[in-house]
Amino acid sequence: MNRTKIARLVLVLGGMLTTAAFLMTFFWANPSLLPDGRVDFSQKIFYFHVPVAEASFLVFFFTALYGVKFLLTKDRRYDMRAKIATEVTLFFVLLTMATGILWTKVAWGVWWQWEPRLTTYFIMTLLVIAYFVLRNSVEDEEKRAVYAAAFGILAFIDAPISFFITRWAESIHPVVLAGGKSSGLEAPMLITFIIAQIGMLMLGYAFYEMRLHEEELKERLEALKVKVGG
């Protein structure tokens, strides 16, 4: 089985797992209760928001990793991989932002709050966007690849900062999986979350592989065009 077939399989599995997690969220995972005893429906977004956010950090790591690999080898395939990893990051980052903003409106009463996690994540969003702005304004192909790799490596530094900031600084953003006495989830909640997380990572991998496949096909097509035309 080649990579593309595996990617398609992973895509279907990831879709099934995230859908299953979505259903489990409403029909199986323990509801979280408000102080007056009503069910807190806004908490349900946790099973989507957190997996997609964690996936965004992880995929962004590959931007930096392939950036380093490109600089060491000057192999253009790594540049393409870094670019596609950043595309997937952008997609996940925007989803994280959208779901986060919905939740903060319900839980905190405002759409946006300049608190450490939100601020550093917003900065990460800007960095991911800046990565593409930078790419688009360099005409020379080699320069574009080198600059994008260098910027990707620098930009990634914000990801661990954003991830750990809720542990370092005073933040009102919830930290559910921090360990310690008051954190943690009951078993059905945890299982639902893990399924959602695995599904999301599978989707991330599948998006990445399929985009890569698409780009490789495009390149082959271009090469064929040159061959036939020339």
Partner 1 sequence: MAGSSWRQFKAILRKDLVMELRTHEMITSMGLYAILTMVVYQIALTEAGEALDVRLVMPGLIWVAFIFMSLLGLNRSFVHEKDQGCIDALLLSPVDRPVIFFAKSAGNLLFLLVVELLSLPVFAFLFLQGREGITNPIWLLGVVMFAASVGISGVGTLLATMTVNTTGKDILLAVVFVPLMYPLLRAAVGATFAAIIGGPGSVETFWAWMTWIAGFDVIMLLIAFGLYEFVIGA
Output phi, psi for 7, to 5 deg.
-60, -40
71 binds partner 1 (CB under 8 A): yes
DSSP letters for 98-110: HHHHHHHHHHHSS
Contacts of partner 1 in 85-144 (CB under 8 A) = 119-120, 123, 126-127, 130, 133-134, 137-140, 142-143
Our CB check for partner 1 shows the closer of 152 and 199 to be 152
Site for partner 1 (CB under 8 A): which residue of 151, 193, 207, 208?
151
Q: Which long-range contacts (CB under 8 A, 24 or more apart) does 17-20 make?
A: 17/195, 17/196, 17/198, 17/199, 17/202, 18/51, 18/196, 18/199, 18/200, 18/203, 19/199, 20/195, 20/199
Site for partner 1 (CB under 8 A): which residue of 12, 33, 39, 157?
157
Smallest distance, partner 1 to C-beta of residue 78, A: 13
Residue 25 CA to residue 51 CA, distance in Å, equals: 13
Q: Which amino acid appears at position 117 of this protein? A: R
Smallest distance, partner 1 to C-beta of residue 120, A: 8
Our CB check for partner 1 shows the closer of 27 and 114 to be 114
Q: Is 168 left (phi over 0), alpha (psi -120 to 50) or beta?
A: alpha
150 binds partner 1 (CB under 8 A): yes
Smallest distance, partner 1 to C-beta of residue 103, A: 23
Q: How many residues bind partner 1 (CB under 8 A)?
A: 26
Q: Are 149 and 79 in contact (CB under 8 A)?
A: yes
47 binds partner 1 (CB under 8 A): no
61 binds partner 1 (CB under 8 A): no
Our CB check for partner 1 shows the closer of 155 and 200 to be 155
Our CB check for partner 1 shows the closer of 27 and 168 to be 168
Our CB check for partner 1 shows the closer of 22 and 163 to be 163
Residue 59 CA to residue 208 CA, distance in Å, equals: 9
Our CB check for partner 1 shows the closer of 20 and 138 to be 138
* Nearest in space to 100 (alpha carbons), one of 155, 161, 173: 173
Residue 54 CA to residue 1 CA, distance in Å, equals: 29
Binding region for partner 1 (CB under 8 A): 71, 119-120, 123, 126-127, 130, 133-134, 137-140, 142-143, 146-147, 149-151, 153-155, 157-158, 161
